[in-house]
Amino acid sequence: MTLDDAAAQLEALGNPTRLKIYRTLVKVGEEGIPVGQLQNRLGTAASTLSHHLQKMIQVGLVTQERQATTLICRANYATMKGLVGYLTEECCVEQTKSCRSNAA
């Protein structure tokens, strides 16, 4: 992961509405959730939800899959794990006394 990729993903999650959407997608798991159910669960207008989802799709945090007439939204767990790993991979490397066990 590059610094620019991480910055773009963190920027996408830096909006309270998008963070709420993303946390909901993480909670529902790998099966995902139909966009209509996501909209109902969050009480968000369809156009607002679409705008925020698009931002997270652009940076790879969310995927969408069409199943017949239903659009399923999912958190992209590989991207999420990559971002968390990028943030923590060098934890305490410059510290003389190791703190790695406390960072996990």
Please give the model's pTM, rounded to 2 decimal places: 0.86
d(CA 53, CA 22): 9
Q: What is the mean pLDDT of residues 51-64?
A: 98
Q: Does 91 fall in a domain? A: no
Tokens of 45: 């207008």
Name the residue range of residue 35's domain.
Answer: 3-85
d(CA 89, CA 92): 9
For position 36, which CATH number holds?
Answer: 1.10.10.10
Q: Does 9 fall in a domain? A: yes
Q: pLDDT per residue over 21-57, tens digit each?
A: 999 999 999 999 999 999 999 999 999 999 999 999 9
Q: Cα(first)–Cα(last) distance of the chain, in Å?
A: 20
Q: What pLDDT does residue 95 have?
A: 78
Taking the alpha carbons of 21, 26, 27, 29 in that order, is the dihedral positive or negative? positive
Q: Does 96 fall in a domain? A: no
Q: Does 90 fall in a domain? A: no
Amino acid (1-letter code) at residue 58: Q
Q: Does 103 fall in a domain? A: no
Say what percent of the chain tops pLDDT 90.
86
Q: Does 65 fall in a domain? A: yes
Q: What pLDDT does residue 99 have?
A: 63
Taking the alpha carbons of 46, 43, 53, 8 in that order, is the dihedral positive or negative? positive
22 contacts: CB under 8 Å, gap ≥ 6: 13, 56, 61, 62, 75
Q: What pLDDT does residue 64 have?
A: 97
Count of domains for the chain: 1
Q: Does 77 fall in a domain? A: yes
Whole-number mean pLDDT of the chain? 93
Q: Does 95 fall in a domain? A: no
Asked if the model's pLDDT at residue 104 lies above 60, the reply is: no
